[in-house]
Amino acid sequence: MTIRLLPETTANRIAAGEVVERPAAVVKELVENALDAGARMIRVTLEQGGIGRVLVEDDGMGMAPEDLALAVERHATSKLPEEAMLFAIGTLGFRGEALPSIGAVARLSITSRPKGGEAHRIIVEGGRKAAVQPASGAPGTRVEVNDLFFATPARRKFLRSPRSEGEAAMEALRRLALAWPEVGFEATLEGRPQLQLAPTTRDGRIRDLLGADFAAAALPVIGGAPGILEISGQAGGPAFTRATAMEQHLVVNRRPVRDPLLRAALRVAYREVMAPGRHPVAALFLELPASEVDVNVHPMKTELRFRDANGVRGAVISALRRALGHGVGQGVSLGYAGPARLSFAPAPQAVSQAGRGFAEQALPLNFPAPAPLASPAAPVPAEHPLGRALAQVLETYILAEAPDGALILVDQHAAHERLTHERLSAEIQSGGVRAQPLLIPAVVELPQAARLADAAPELALLGLELEGFGPGAVIVRALPALLGAPDPAPLLRDLAEELTESGEGVALALRLDAAIARLACHGSIRAGRRLTPAEMDALLRAMERTPRAATCSHGRPTYLRLGATEFARLFGRS
Give 453-507 pLDDT, tens digit per residue: 888 888 888 888 999 888 788 999 998 887 777 788 888 887 887 777 655 544 5
Query: Is 203-330 in the same CATH topology as 8-199?
Result: no
Residue 85: pLDDT over 60:
no
Lowest mean pLDDT among 395-399, 427-431, 526-530: 526-530
> Please, what's the largest Cα pairwise distance for the chain?
96
Residue 368: pLDDT over 80:
no
Confidence of residue 364 (pLDDT cuts 50, 70, 90): very low
Q: How far apart are CA 489 and CA 485, in angstroms?
A: 12
End-to-end C-alpha distance for the chain, whole angstroms: 69
Query: For residues 367, 369, 370 and 371, what is the CA-based torsion angle, rounded to 10 degrees?
Result: -150
Q: How far apart are CA 264 and CA 243, in angstroms?
A: 16
More confident residue, 260 or 427: 260
pLDDT of residue 572: 81
Q: Are strands 192-197 and 241-242 parallel, antiparallel or unpaired?
A: unpaired
Averaged pLDDT for residues 76-105: 61
More confident residue, 348 or 128: 128
Residue 324: pLDDT over 90:
no
pLDDT of residue 65: 95
Lowest mean pLDDT among 19-28, 204-213, 418-427, 506-515: 506-515
Mean predicted lDDT score pLDDT of the chain: 80
More confident residue, 99 or 8: 99
Lowest mean pLDDT among 83-97, 139-153, 234-248, 315-329: 83-97
pLDDT of residue 502: 58
More confident residue, 527 or 471: 471
Give tens-digit pLDDT for 486-501.
788 888 887 887 777 6
Please report the sign of the dihedral spanned by the C-alpha atoms of residue 167, residue 173, residue 176, residue 177.
negative
Q: How far apart are CA 218 and CA 282, in angstroms?
A: 8
pLDDT of residue 354: 30
Closest C-alpha to 413, from 278, 548, 551: 551
pLDDT of residue 255: 94
Q: Are strands 184-189 and 192-197 parallel, antiparallel or unpaired?
A: antiparallel
Q: How many CB atoms lie within 10 A of CB 177?
A: 21
Residue 340: pLDDT over 50:
no
Q: How many CB atoms lie within 10 A of CB 559?
A: 20
Averaged pLDDT for residues 118-137: 95
Domain ranges of the chain: 8-199, 203-330, 339-574
Give tens-digit pLDDT for 530-568.
888 888 999 999 998 887 788 887 777 888 888 888 888
Backbone angles phi, psi at 535, to 5 degrees: -70, -40
CATH of domain 8-199: 3.30.565.10
Closest C-alpha to 316, from 228, 227, 232: 232
pLDDT of residue 329: 30
More confident residue, 163 or 523: 163
Across 233-237, 446-450, 552-556, the highest mean pLDDT is recorded for: 233-237
Q: Are strands 184-189 and 41-47 parallel, antiparallel or unpaired?
A: parallel
**Residue 183 DSSP class:** S
Which residues, 6 or more positions from 220, have their beta carbon under 8 angstroms from its beta carbon? 232, 233, 234, 323
CB 199 within 8 A of CB 183: yes
Q: How far apart are CA 220 and CA 231, in angstroms?
A: 10
**Residue 254 DSSP class:** T
Q: How many CB atoms lie within 10 A of CB 242?
A: 18
Cα distances from 522 to residues 260, 416, 433, 484, 492, in angstroms, run: 30, 11, 15, 10, 10
pLDDT of residue 80: 45
Residue 337: pLDDT over 70:
no
pTM for the predicted model, two decimal places? 0.65
More confident residue, 464 or 335: 464
**Bridge partners for 120 per DSSP:** 112, 134
Which residues, 6 or more positions from 77, have their beta carbon under 8 angstroms from its beta carbon? 94, 95, 96, 97
CB 386 within 8 A of CB 399: no
Backbone angles phi, psi at 70, to 5 degrees: -75, -25
Confidence of residue 350 (pLDDT cuts 50, 70, 90): very low
Residue 380: pLDDT over 60:
yes
Backbone angles phi, psi at 136, to 5 degrees: -115, 145
Cα distances from 343 to residues 245, 349, 351, 430, 563, in angstroms, run: 35, 18, 21, 43, 21
More confident residue, 243 or 368: 243
Q: How many CB atoms lie within 10 A of CB 173?
A: 24
Q: How far apart are CA 426 and CA 101, in angstroms?
A: 52
pLDDT of residue 140: 97
Give tens-digit pLDDT for 389-405.
999 988 889 999 988 88
Helix (H, G, I), strand (E, B) or coil at 311: helix
Q: How far apart are CA 490 and CA 522, in angstroms?
A: 8
More confident residue, 12 or 197: 197
Q: How far apart are CA 170 and CA 185, in angstroms?
A: 11
**Bridge partners for 141 per DSSP:** 58, 112
pLDDT of residue 111: 97
Residue 29: pLDDT over 60:
yes
CB 525 within 8 A of CB 416: yes
Q: How far apart are CA 473 and CA 184, in angstroms?
A: 20
CB 498 within 8 A of CB 515: yes
Residue 327: pLDDT over 90:
no
pLDDT of residue 212: 86
Interhelix angle for 533-544 vs 353-361, to 10°?
A: 20
Q: Per residue, what are the HEC states of 348-393?
A: CCCCCHHHHHHHHHCCCCCCCCCCCCCCCCCCCCCCCCCCEEEEEE
pLDDT of residue 151: 86
Identify how many contiguous H helices and E strands the chain contains and give both numbers.
Answer: 18, 26
**Residue 245 DSSP class:** S
Q: Which CATH architecture has domain 339-574?
A: 2-Layer Sandwich (3.30)
More confident residue, 318 or 358: 318
Lowest mean pLDDT among 309-313, 334-338, 468-472: 334-338
How large a percentage of the chain has pLDDT more than 90? 38
Q: What is the DSSP string of 27-56?
A: HHHHHHHHHHTT-SEEEEEEEGGGTSEEEE
Q: Is 203-330 a CATH 3.30.230.10 domain?
A: yes
Query: For residues 505, 507, 508 and 509, what is the CA-based torsion angle, rounded to 10 degrees?
Result: -150
Closest C-alpha to 417, from 359, 483, 368, 354: 483
Confidence of residue 367 (pLDDT cuts 50, 70, 90): very low
Lowest mean pLDDT among 137-151, 278-292, 475-489: 475-489
Averaged pLDDT for residues 419-429: 83
